[in-house]
Chain A
Amino acid sequence: GIQVEQSPPDLILQEGANSTLRCNFSDSVNNLQWFHQNPWGQLINLFYIPSGTKQNGRLSATTVATERYSLLYISSSQTTDSGVYFCAVVNSGTYKYIFGTGTRLKVLA
């Protein structure tokens, strides 16, 4: 089945710094989502981005489907950005999300 790898596994930033999180996947997808889980466990769906670029405030995401990767950019990071970021993909023709193992981000004040 499709494999999803995220990097880096852990990231520590000073408040105000920028970061790039990466998601690689091994097969064609027609659905890719980014999620954020805060330190208290609450999940937020950040982006639906099977291709192209989207921006939402300080966060933006780009997926290059032909090269099988997606990037999540966090600019001017804040302590509230801390948590785990997951990407999830859906292999074409299926109805099942496959998750990456996540990037754990800690933003220091």
Chain B
Amino acid sequence: GAGVSQSPSNKVTEKGKDVELRCDPISGHTALYWYRQSLGQGLEFLIYFQGNSAPDKSGLPSDRFSAERTGGSVSTLTIQRTQQEDSAVYLCASSLAAGFYTQETQYFGPGTRLLVL
């Protein structure tokens, strides 16, 4: 079956604009994760969804960031009033299990490259 898909693959926006990034997990995967990786930097965890619920939103970098998941499937990461420091690759992953502390493998999408001018 299809893997995790993300759209758009690339996004260039102007500072101050809002952007929406989309993640389509593997069908049947209950858990969904968002990460970001700034250019040449390491990985930063943003948020985890168990079904449609995110038990901990403290990983989101600021209140300009929000995420939601509907129908236990598609997730959207929204960044309001984008800043240049938001430029990064935003990665989404999904896994089969519903619990955070499980052995289920995370499968990653190709990422969305966001550039804020």
Range for the number of chain B residues in contact with chain A? 20 to 34
Binary per-residue interface labels of chain B (81-117) against chain A in the complex, 1 for a CB within 8 Å, 0 otherwise: 0000000010101000000111111111011000000
Q: Does B12 contact A (CB under 8 A)?
A: no
Range for the number of chain A residues in contact with chain B? 20 to 34
Which label, helix, strand, loop or mixed, suits the secondary structure of the B interface?
A: loop
Instruction: Give CA–CA (A94, B33) in the complex, Å.
Output: 14
A97, chain B: closest CB distance, angstroms? 4
Instruction: Give CA–CA (A33, B35) in the complex, Å.
Output: 14
Among A86, A99, A100, the most chain B Cβ lie within 10 Å of the Cβ of: A99
Evaluate contact between A99 and B42: CB separation under 8 angstroms.
Answer: yes
Q: Determine, out of B15-23, B52-60, B71-79, the stretch whose residues face the partner at the interface.
A: B52-60
Q: Does A64 contact B (CB under 8 A)?
A: no
A5, chain B: closest CB distance, angstroms? 12
A98, chain B: closest CB distance, angstroms? 7
Evaluate contact between A42 and B107: CB separation under 8 angstroms.
Answer: no
Instruction: Give CA–CA (A95, B31) in the complex, Å.
Output: 12
A6 nearest CB neighbor, chain B only: B42
Instruction: Give CA–CA (A105, B48) in the complex, Å.
Output: 29
Chain A interface residues toward B at CB < 8 A: 30-31, 33, 35, 37, 41-45, 48, 50, 86, 88, 90, 94-102
Listed by A's residue number, 14 A-B pairs whose Cβ atoms lie within 8 Å are: A30-B101, A31-B101, A35-B43, A42-B108, A45-B105, A45-B106, A45-B107, A48-B103, A88-B43, A88-B45, A94-B56, A97-B45, A102-B42, A102-B43
Chain B interface residues toward A at CB < 8 A: 42-45, 48, 55-56, 58-59, 89, 91, 93, 100-108, 110-111
